[in-house]
Amino acid sequence: MKILCPVKRVLDPYVKVRVKQDNSDVDLANAKMAMNPFCEIAVEQAIRLKEQGHASEVVLVAVGPQQSQETLRTGLAMGADRGILVKAEPAPEPLGVAKILKAICDKESPDLVFAGKQAVDGDNNQTGQMLSALLGWAQGTFVSKVEVHDDHFLVTREIDGGLEQLKIGRPAVLTADLRLCEPRYASLPNIMKAKKKPIDNYTPEDLGVEVGHRLTLQKVEEPPARQAGIKVDSVGELVDKLHDEAKVI
Amino acid sequence: MSVLVITEHDNAALTTGALSTLTSARQLGDDEIHALVVGHGCKDAADAAAKVPGVTKVLLADAPEYDHRIAENVTPLLVDLAKNYGHVLCAASTFGKNVMPRVAALLDVQPVADIVAVVAPDTFRRPIYAGNAFATVKTGDPIKIVTIRPTAFEDAEAEGGNASVETLSGTGDQGLSSFVGQELTQSDRPELASAKIVISGGRGLGSGDNFQLLERVADKLGAAVGASRAAVDAGFVPNDYQVGQTGKVVAPDLYVAVGISGAIQHLAGMKDSKVIAAINKDEEAPIFQVADYGLVADLFEAVPELEKEIDRVK
């Protein structure tokens, strides 16, 4: 089985986002970037499936600016076999990314696409579902457990109110939730080895995909600031304030 | 133009997410609001939808292939229907997030996810970067596919309307995936996403057993119990307790954070709460920057005392 993992380069989730002064967008100049944490989880799971003998090859795909190559190297250092960079700037919307990934799937014929459930910049949670729709494949989203069988995947999904088990026909698109697995750190020798692993380069035009933008970003703002609160000295005072002042209990 | 609202339900009544989505639909200025009730054995939910003021027609798609509303089976129905509408809305629940992008891709539409406000019929406000920024986006797509953050809109009234119910036939099992089973968390307390009061615990609780301290307070207040990701990852409570960017987004009247430091991913899930109270022994914890009332104390002493003090004022 061949597994394809889309990976996205995003603002490091532990860095505080800044909004540009003219409210045109967030300010990513000189900001620390990293692999989207949900993509890391998907890559880790794909590599584990390879280690368990379920997969023969793990191929990474990044869609975005040239620097996304660093994100591919990170995944290759974790243990993926090769990378594909589709250079597209500005970064396409989820629909555009899904169309590009569809074209890559047509070329590569993977048995499984393992993506993250959402990217922590746009917080859209759409690309995996859209790719699955375009391919006409089954989808398993918010996956926290996966078992590989001959003609299907048995997945556990995190849903509102608990967990759900589904039998997902192959081929399929699965999207990783937080608790699927703990991503590994790349060792120094593996980081060195990753530099020699191949990365193919494409543009959307090479793939025959037109990536238009459907949404216009009109404004980006800071969230409304909360008024500074007060510190109380005792539980009694806290309860009094909640009861008499805030009137919430 | 008309708006189609895909309503979630438990076969008998609409969820609060569905009711808040109907509120957002009324802000679009469309001529008609149609509510789709899809599932198996869900006639009562369709009758409930017909009573929501503002709903002009209910579409009922009741068929075995829609049981558990598997995305692959529901999608052909939604794609067929959506072509007749200017807007298609659904709550940004795990169901809405699962299904709507699949429908949108087949209609060649870029959906707008998790909106918190309708600015204009084609312009919406939505959080990005875990709620650390808000983007206003305008869509140029002819069919506007939008998911709604339920806590950002009031629930529509459940009674007062009198819409007709039209029955749709099923579109058949697509044979791509099937339901195997589910494990739902049993709880007598109010649902986390719609509770008026939420009391949440973090890593500071130290163990799952200690969540009983919070549960006793929750029962006195009629509150729901939530948790930070750290508490879930440590196995103290199930994952559906999690409040934050990757869990549930809540906006209760009162949010009590106990032993939670206040990482940005957690704040993304609760900072729209009306009043925030925090109990933490570390006075430098970031949670105190958003808390209206902060108490620096050991939670193991403060929480039992809290339980007693609530009796005093109630």
For residues B187 and A240, give the distance between their C-alpha atoms in angstroms, rounded to a whole number.
Answer: 29
The DSSP symbol for B289 reads G
A228 pLDDT above the threshold of 90: no
Contact by Cβ (8 Å): B268, B249: yes
Determine whether the interchain pair A168/B176 forms a contact, defined as Cβ–Cβ distance below 8 Å.
Answer: yes
Nearest to A143 by CA among A185, A174, A119: A174
Determine whether the interchain pair A241/B239 forms a contact, defined as Cβ–Cβ distance below 8 Å.
Answer: no
The DSSP symbol for A243 reads I
Determine whether the interchain pair A240/B313 forms a contact, defined as Cβ–Cβ distance below 8 Å.
Answer: yes
Note whether A72 contacts B: Cβ–Cβ < 8 A: no
For residues B66 and B58, give the distance between their C-alpha atoms in angstroms, rounded to a whole number.
Answer: 17
For residues A211 and A205, give the distance between their C-alpha atoms in angstroms, rounded to a whole number.
Answer: 9
Which of A149-153, A169-173, B243-247 bottoms out in mean pLDDT, i.e. has the lowest? B243-247
| Ramachandran category for residue A189: left, alpha or beta (phi over 0 → left; psi -120 to 50 → alpha) | alpha
A225 pLDDT above the threshold of 90: no
What is the ipTM score, two decimals? 0.96
For residues B52 and B136, give the distance between their C-alpha atoms in angstroms, rounded to a whole number.
Answer: 29
Residue A158 β-bridge partners: A163
SS3 track for B12-56: CCECHHHHHHHHHHHCCCCCEEEEEEEECCCHHHHHHHHCCCCCC
For B159-215, give the DSSP string. Answer: SS---EEEEE------SSEEEEEEEEPP-SSPPGGG-SEEEEE-GGG-SSTTHHHHH
Question: Torsions phi, psi of B220, nearest 5?
Answer: -65, -35
Contact by Cβ (8 Å): A114, A174: yes
B68 burial type by CB count under 10 A (0-12 exposed, 13-18 middle, 19+ buried): middle
For residues B5 and B111, give the distance between their C-alpha atoms in angstroms, rounded to a whole number.
Answer: 14
For residues A170 and A75, give the distance between their C-alpha atoms in angstroms, rounded to a whole number.
Answer: 24
Which residue from A minimizes the CA distance to B241?
A161
Instruction: Confirm or reject CATH 3.30.365.10 for domain A2-244, answering yes or no.
Output: no
Contact by Cβ (8 Å): B126, B115: yes
Task: For chain B, positions 128-147, list CB contacts with chain A under 8 A.
Answer: 128-141
Determine whether the interchain pair B101/A243 forms a contact, defined as Cβ–Cβ distance below 8 Å.
Answer: no
pLDDT in tens, B175-195: 999 999 999 988 889 999 889
Q: With b meaning 16 or more CB within 10 Å and e meaning fewer, what string describes B210-238?
A: bbebbbebbebbebbbbbbbbbbebebbb
In this prediction, residue A40 has a pLDDT band, given cuts at 50, 70 and 90, of very high
pLDDT in tens, B53-96: 999 999 999 999 999 999 999 999 999 999 999 999 999 999 99
Which residue among A134, A139, A214 places its CB closest to the CB of B72? A139
pLDDT at residue number B256: 98
Note whether A51 contacts B: Cβ–Cβ < 8 A: no
A7 pLDDT above the threshold of 90: yes
pLDDT at residue number B1: 85
Which residue among B132, B185, B294 places its CB closest to the CB of A231? B294
Contact by Cβ (8 Å): A7, A43: yes
Task: For chain A, positions 115-144, list CB contacts with chain B under 8 A.
Answer: 120-127, 129-134, 137-142, 144
pLDDT at residue number B178: 97
Chain A interface, mutation test: which of B70, B75, B77, B94, most A Cβ atoms within 10 Å? B94
Residue A222 β-bridge partners: none
Angle between helices A37-51 and A68-78 (to 10 degrees): 30
First CA to last CA distance, chain A: 57
For residues A221 and A25, give the distance between their C-alpha atoms in angstroms, rounded to a whole number.
Answer: 8
Question: How far lies B97's CA from each of A25, B46, B112, B140, B266, in Å?
Answer: 25, 22, 11, 21, 20
Question: Torsions phi, psi of B282, nearest 5?
Answer: -95, 110
**Average pLDDT, stretch A172-180?**
96
Stretches where chain B sits below pLDDT 50 are: none
CB atoms within 10 A of CB A66: 10
Taking the domains of chain A in order of start, what are their residue ranges?
A: 2-244
Amino acid at B208: G
Chain B residues whose beta carbon lies within 8 Å of the beta carbon of residue A172: 177
